[in-house]
Structure 1
Amino acid sequence: MNISDATAKDRMTVDGHTLIFDTSAISSDDESNAILRSDANLFGDLIMNNPSVDTVIVSGDGGSLYASYEIARTIMTFDLNVVARGDCESGCAIVFLGGKTRTLEKGARLGFHRSSTEADNHKKHYELRKDKAGWKDEFAYARWTYEDGQIVARDFIAYLIQRGVAVDFALRTLIPSGDDMWYPSIEELAKAGVLTEPE
């Protein structure tokens, strides 16, 4: 078992009809709390192996967009209800929106912001992929990142709309920078269709 597999196991538990996914369960370090690809794999396995689960409780931070969308797809495939506990930010909000019904525990908040990545990550990505991608220099890479950023934003907006979220709310999620977080009120979330009535 590698470190990421161990991390995933430490923050996902099944309790009867409920799967609890708390990315902050093992560390107060933001980087350790990131949603990882290993989380998506374990989440799918747990749902497959626990057919009585009908509700997912989520809390924590963001992380891999790929992994967040993959977990959300599993939630949609199995028609699961989702409840947010505490702060559910960034990628956690993507997971939350996969729910058939979407509700907040008392005191819970959803946090939204524009997708972003650190300069060091850009440097590593450029060095790792420049030959395969055909980037002749950093300026060619900059053009690719500009286009890729637009695709990421488009896909996020499309996902929110697909999940029944109002267009004006979806567009507003792109306003806060990657370093800021927008926490809409319960009234704003309900009006925009982010929250649903429990069945």
Structure 2
Amino acid sequence: MPLKHAAERPDSGHFPFYRLLGRDFLFPFALLLVLDMLVMVPLVRAHHLPLGIGIALVILPKLVGVPWAGARVLRIAELHYRRHGADGIKTALLGALLAAVLVLLVSTVESIQTMIFTRSEQENVWTAPSLKYRFGYERETGRYTISGEIDFGITRDFRAFLEQNPGGRTLILNSPGGSIYEGRGLLRIVSDNGLDTHVEAECLSACVLAFLGGGRRTLAPDAGLGFHQYAVDYSKLKQTIPFYDPKREQAHDIALMRGIGVSEDFLERMFQQPHEGIWMPPHDVLAGAGIIRTGP
């Protein structure tokens, strides 16, 4: 692809190497990354853009932009070599081009993964079966129960369970935790159905997200909520989400909890406990932070 301006030819008096490098290499690749992170993924997360269109808009600009920018970089490298006769810059540019393509590939996969799992969390389209959780319903008391892991599929299955057993008022939780994506899904279902939440034993990690969906949120005297840092469970590698970033997910849930009124002091402390341990705050701390809520 020819460079049109005389100043860009190797036989001209001036060869603006750095300007061309910024315009034809750094700027296009940076723009493609920004489109993913700041435009496409947020639009899909906010339901302003259908998932299929979002994925297409992540992929298509790269199918056009990467070959164009790559051809320009190769042309710049060739012109620099013909002008100066040294191939060090040419080799460096080729290496930088390859690295940029790899970064874009990783960014593309991560963006698509984020879109899919966010929409799965919102629409409950995950289909993996699980026997690690159980539901119950006492019609006389209007109490639902969830016990066991917050595993993949629980959001979808609990929504179906509510449709088959309408009329309950309170959800009793007893769980060691599990998938934060499914925990967020349960939070949404609990909130949408106007349920209160209650813990009689323990509700740890991802279970706390479901607990926070309750209108009234209460604990039995000996019950506890547990908090710790998020981490990848490599013992469940087949269910591990590629490019899962625990710190980013923690930031997501800090913002979520801030939105429902949890205090800033508590949010700062919430993820200080390493994943191997668990922090179980006293009831008065939970009440003061807005986690426990006995009023409407």
Q: Under TM normalisation by the shorter chain, which class is it?
A: 0.7 to 0.9
Identity of aligned residues (%): 26
Inter-CA distance 123–92: structure 2 relative to 1 (3 Å threshold):
closer
SS of structure 2 residue aligned to 1:53? coil
TM superposition shift of 1:37: 2.1
- Looking at structure 2, the residues matched to 120 and 84 of structure 1 have their Cα atoms a distance apart, in angstroms, of 28
SS of structure 2 residue aligned to 1:82? strand
Give the equivalent residue in structure 1 for 2:163. 48
TM superposition shift of 1:174: 1.0
- Looking at structure 2, the residues matched to 169 and 116 of structure 1 have their Cα atoms a distance apart, in angstroms, of 20
- Partner amino acid for 2:196? N
Q: 2:255 aligns with which of 152, 158, 161?
A: 158
- Looking at structure 2, the residues matched to 42 and 121 of structure 1 have their Cα atoms a distance apart, in angstroms, of 21
- Looking at structure 1, the residues matched to 160 and 190 of structure 2 have their Cα atoms a distance apart, in angstroms, of 12
Q: Structure 1: any 5+ residue segments left out of the alignment?
A: 24-33, 130-143
Q: 1:81 aligns with which of 184, 188, 196?
A: 196
- Looking at structure 2, the residues matched to 173 and 13 of structure 1 have their Cα atoms a distance apart, in angstroms, of 30
Contact preservation (8 Å) 2:234, 2:240? no
Give the equivalent residue in structure 2 for 1:62. 177
Q: Give TM-score, length-normalised by structure 2.
A: 0.52
Give the equivalent residue in structure 2 for 1:141. none
Larger helix fraction of residues: 2
- Looking at structure 2, the residues matched to 155 and 15 of structure 1 have their Cα atoms a distance apart, in angstroms, of 34
Q: 2:186 aligns with which of 66, 71, 82?
A: 71
- Partner amino acid for 1:18? R
Q: Structure 2: any 5+ residue segments left out of the alignment?
A: 1-126
Contact preservation (8 Å) 1:4, 1:36? no
Contact preservation (8 Å) 1:81, 1:101? yes
Give the equivalent residue in structure 2 for 1:132. none
Inter-CA distance 125–57: structure 2 relative to 1 (3 Å threshold):
closer
Q: Give TM-score, length-normalised by structure 1.
A: 0.76
Give the equivalent residue in structure 2 for 1:192. 289
SS of structure 2 residue aligned to 1:79? coil
1:140-167 deviation per Cα after TM superposition (whole angstroms, max 9, x unaligned):
xxxx55xx33320111101111222101
- Looking at structure 2, the residues matched to 125 and 92 of structure 1 have their Cα atoms a distance apart, in angstroms, of 18
Structure 1's consecutive aligned runs of 4 or more residues displaced over 3 angstroms after TM superposition are: 2-8, 118-126
Calculate the aligned-residue CA RMSD, in Å. 2.4
Contact preservation (8 Å) 1:85, 1:108? yes
1:4-34 deviation per Cα after TM superposition (whole angstroms, max 9, x unaligned):
44444xx1111111111111xxxxxxxxxx3
After TM superposition, list the pairs within 5 Å mapping 1:1-199 onto structure 2.
4-8=129-133, 11-16=134-139, 17-23=142-148, 34-119=149-234, 148-199=245-296
1:114-169 deviation per Cα after TM superposition (whole angstroms, max 9, x unaligned):
1012355679869xx6xxxxxxxxxxxxxx55xx3332011110111122210110
- Partner amino acid for 1:179? E
- Looking at structure 1, the residues matched to 237 and 246 of structure 2 have their Cα atoms a distance apart, in angstroms, of 12
- Partner amino acid for 2:184? Y
- Partner amino acid for 1:60? S
SS of structure 1 residue aligned to 2:153? helix
TM superposition shift of 1:198: 4.3
Q: Name the larger-Rg structure.
A: 2
- Partner amino acid for 2:271? L
